[in-house]
Structure 1
Amino acid sequence: MWYLCVFYHRLLDYRRPEVQSLAELFGGPGAGAAVEWRMPENHHEDSPFHLVRLPGGERVAAQTANRSLLVKGIYELWGQGATYDELEEAIRAYPDERKLPYLTPESSFKIVVDSFGKAVSFEEQNAIIKRFTYIPFEGRVNLKKPDHKFFVLETDDYGPQNGLPPVAQKTVFFGRLVGAADRHVVPTYELKSRKYIGPTAMDCEMAFLMANQGLARPGKLVYDPFVGTGSILVAAAHFGAMTMILI
């Protein structure tokens, strides 16, 4: 299955490599090399919106997204279009056997509107959400802890700004959230939040990216002969690896 992978718009050269490393970590040897990528129509590779196929399916997709620093979310894509009418047509055509398990009376849900390249007011978000009455949700809305989160992701036809080449056509995506980055580690472990010795340090986010690309996990040893303020070792230890320094 192809998933929609939405990245944070930062550290662009590290985004796909981090996903492939985590696919290797959770999918086993060779899984990272087996990851496939393609771009949505009219999107440049620096766009935050990518399509990805991961070996191991939804389990690996969720684990990869949840541990990542740069994946804003991985979604089961129910449809996309240049307009909301096209999006509706795509969602209606998406197989019922994929949709119905998440629309049952026993499950709660929430719809979130997100965008890139434009701001969407609260009133506009409500109006957008009301467009999706054709999806036969039978469960109750739960804004705090829903069983399933659905996202409307909109990228506008902005010009050459946001550090990107222009996108030729507006695109609207709709999908079920599979997993999302947990970025609380950055404020938790940045230097101002912990004790350290030394005048310089590696950026906390970069240290965690290196730990991810190094496949840090329980049972692994991470040795840093030039430890500095310990940023890499702290990140590796957070993920359960044994760490060692030279004294």
Structure 2
Amino acid sequence: MTLQLFYLTWGTTHGSFRLPELESVAKLYDINFHLPPFSPNVIEKYNAQGCGLDEEWDIEGRAILVLGLEKVEDAFKLGERGVGIRSLHKLYALAPTLATLHTVLSQLPRTKEARPWDIDLEGDGSTEPKRWKFRFDSFAKMWDSQTQQEKMIAFDHLELKGKPDMKTPELEFGIFEEYLDRPSPAKPDPSATLALPEMVYYGLLTTHSTARPLLTHYSLKTRPHIGNTSMDAEISLLMANQALARNGSFVWDPFAGTGSMLLTCAHWGAFCVGSDIDGRQMRGKEKGKKRAGTPGIKLSAAKYGTQDQIVDLLTFDVTKNPWRVGRMFDAIVTDPPYGVRAGAKRLGRKDPSKLRNEPYFFPEGHPDAGKASYELPEYLPPFRPYQISHLAMDLVRLARYALKPGGRLVFFLPVVNDEYESVDVPTIEGMKLISNSVEDFGKWARRLITLELNINAPAVDAPRFDSESFFGTPSTSKEEAPGDDSAPSEQRLPGHHNFREKFFTKVIKSASTGLGNEAKAQSEFESESVAEAVDTHST
């Protein structure tokens, strides 16, 4: 097997999301990719001794990933779907410094085997050598245009065939200087981190990511229907990839809200069902626009041409869902409410003694006399709080029933960092953890959990949520039912139990400056969900 190395430039700043997305896209397209450490033969082929290719690569912390592919076509497939990818270049050479790279290249014998760029310039040999240009990029350090031009001119010693053409090139050669804004094993002195690059790469542009521009396409700034907790475009697209959304797959978001994940899954051809206990979020306001009764989510989908992919939008409590047949969905992808600004709810009352056993009929003299309250269009049933730790476990149990073998559950789990442990991730027999990525905000974080139903897992009966306790064992007390704030005292409570209270007592109150009041704290909590991602690469 001949392995072709590429250097991949990352677009996303969410480091722990990178490898899970890469693995998911590879699974979608049946791509075999290889990561460092590489074999001595591969390292020798690229004259890359001492360049770190013989050890584990810091995927989360580096701006570049060197990976091996068995087919060039696979690079185009990764670029077609990878939201976190900026570009892929066919790797020719790399070195710790620009001067070292020049030395390595100048000492190569004048053969096509040693200079593969000559082969790429010649093409099929039936035409004149191709037109080309050089492009210089860097990460974490900016250079003025004159310096960039000088760095590119310094590669004149390669004596490239063909004509340079900066406007209409057929090939684009890339030079990328990777600086780190933090100490590394190679440069442990913090004061010297930007003095010299971590690595310099020379290669041929294979493809820019065609998925990356979708961040602008699905921007919240231009979407017809959003709310104060709408998920931003980048995270929504990453979640769609984690869910393996594809043509013909069937996806459900049980906490749909304004439908961010439904829209991105539909983009990739999935048929989507959204549900929420409060249908007003999905429908949006009727006033102000001539919508002819079109729900807000479908209004957004119409903007993107995917309205036919939104199968239905349903209003129900997930613990009293209508699914009478299991194994329906290829993916369940959702962002449950955390309980800070938009709290999770389920049907019922916190005080069960106040729950009516029969419908309420309006008395005589009332405009709706004789009618039951639930018959009115504006009727809202009574809700009670839904503890996030119970919700998360119930969601996993529901996914175990509703997913097809090989199907995935993708959801966010909020945690207070100093209480989080890996055992807090809810699991159940038959489902395996695929990834646990973290978006860290300091004292708290939200973790993107991806679970997959084993292909050989047997079918199970629909879960019953009211008669079982937090961890799915028979309840010994009515106070332990899912949705209440209590839980079995003999078992360790996960770090996300009572997250709302911990957020305001441990995260907000411990921050002595810059957070005026609870309203401002809530705004900070949600701001990351609605802010558009900002790329930090310098060019």
Please tell me the TM-score bracket, short chain as reference: 0.7 to 0.9
Quick check: 1:216 aligned with 2:231? no
| Equivalent-residue separation in structure 2 for 1:91 and 1:222 (angstroms) | 51
Q: Give the Å deviation of 1:145.
A: 4.0
Q: Which residue of 2 aligns with 1:242?
A: 271
- Decide whether the 8 Å contact of 1:103 with 1:136 is kept in 2: no
| Equivalent-residue separation in structure 2 for 1:174 and 1:21 (angstroms) | 28
Q: Give the Å deviation of 1:197.
A: 5.2
Structure 1: segments with no counterpart, 5+ residues: none
- Decide whether the 8 Å contact of 2:118 with 2:161 is kept in 1: no
Number of residues of Structure 1 aligned to a counterpart in Structure 2: 236
- Decide whether the 8 Å contact of 1:44 with 1:165 is kept in 2: no
Quick check: 1:51 aligned with 2:51? no
Q: Deviations over 1:124-171 (max 9, x none)?
A: 111111111133433333334422211110124x5xx3xx43452632
| Equivalent-residue separation in structure 1 for 2:80 and 2:121 (angstroms) | 23
- Decide whether the 8 Å contact of 1:222 with 1:244 is kept in 2: yes
Quick check: 1:119 aligned with 2:137? no
Structure 2: segments with no counterpart, 5+ residues: 38-50, 123-127, 188-195, 275-312, 315-539
Q: Which residue of 2 aligns with 1:13?
A: 16
What SS does the corresponding residue of 2:173 show, helix, strand or coil? strand
| Equivalent-residue separation in structure 2 for 1:101 and 1:243 (angstroms) | 47
- Decide whether the 8 Å contact of 1:153 with 1:173 is kept in 2: yes
Quick check: 1:173 aligned with 2:201? yes
What SS does the corresponding residue of 2:35 show, helix, strand or coil? strand
Quick check: 1:204 aligned with 2:233? yes
Q: Which residue of 1 aligns with 2:489?
A: none
- Decide whether the 8 Å contact of 1:7 with 1:71 is kept in 2: yes
Q: Deviations over 1:34-86 (max 9, x none)?
A: 432227529744111221123x4211112102321211222111111233342
Q: Which residues of 2 match residues 31-42 of structure 1 at below 5 A?
A: 31=31, 34-38=32-36, 40-41=51-52
Quick check: 1:146 aligned with 2:162? no
Q: Give the Å deviation of 1:8.
A: 2.8
Which amino acid in structure 2 is aligned with residue 153 of structure 1? F
- Richer in helix (by share): 1
Quick check: 1:68 aligned with 2:86? no
| Equivalent-residue separation in structure 2 for 1:84 and 1:10 (angstroms) | 25
Q: Give the Å deviation of 1:114.
A: 0.5
Q: Percent identity?
A: 27
Q: Which residue of 1 aligns with 2:496?
A: none
- Decide whether the 8 Å contact of 2:63 with 2:178 is kept in 1: no
1:48–1:136 CA distance, 2 compared to 1 (3 A): same
| Equivalent-residue separation in structure 1 for 2:169 and 2:264 (angstroms) | 30
1:197–1:204 CA distance, 2 compared to 1 (3 A): closer
1:21–1:118 CA distance, 2 compared to 1 (3 A): same
Q: Which residue of 1 aligns with 2:402?
A: none
Q: Give the Å deviation of 1:107.
A: 1.9
Q: Deviations over 1:172-223 (max 9, x none)?
A: 1111112222322112212221111544211211010111222222222222
Q: Give the Å deviation of 1:96.
A: 1.8
Computed over aligned residues only, the root mean square deviation of the Cα atoms, in angstroms, reads 2.5
What SS does the corresponding residue of 1:216 show, helix, strand or coil? coil
- Decide whether the 8 Å contact of 1:78 with 1:91 is kept in 2: no
Q: Which residues of 2 match residues 159-170 of structure 1 at below 5 A?
A: 161=181, 164-166=182-184, 168=187, 170=197
Q: Give the Å deviation of 1:23.
A: 1.4
Of 114-123 and 4-13, the range deviating more from structure 2: 4-13
Q: Give the Å deviation of 1:10.
A: 0.5
Q: Which residue of 2 aligns with 1:79?
A: 93
Quick check: 1:128 aligned with 2:151? yes
Q: Which residue of 2 aligns with 1:96?
A: 112
| Equivalent-residue separation in structure 1 for 2:234 and 2:160 (angstroms) | 39
| Equivalent-residue separation in structure 1 for 2:206 and 2:93 (angstroms) | 15
| Equivalent-residue separation in structure 1 for 2:268 and 2:146 (angstroms) | 41
What SS does the corresponding residue of 1:153 show, helix, strand or coil? strand
1:219–1:44 CA distance, 2 compared to 1 (3 A): closer
Which amino acid in structure 2 is aligned with residue 41 of structure 1? G
| Equivalent-residue separation in structure 1 for 2:215 and 2:9 (angstroms) | 19
Of 117-126 and 209-218, the range deviating more from structure 2: 209-218
Q: Which residues of 2 match residues 18-33 of structure 1 at below 5 A?
A: 18-26=21-29, 28=30, 31=31
TM-score when normalising by structure 2: 0.41
Which of 1 and 2 has higher RCO (CA within 8 Å, sep 6+)?
A: 1
| Equivalent-residue separation in structure 2 for 1:106 and 1:35 (angstroms) | 31
1:9–1:221 CA distance, 2 compared to 1 (3 A): closer
Of 15-24 and 93-102, the range deviating more from structure 2: 93-102
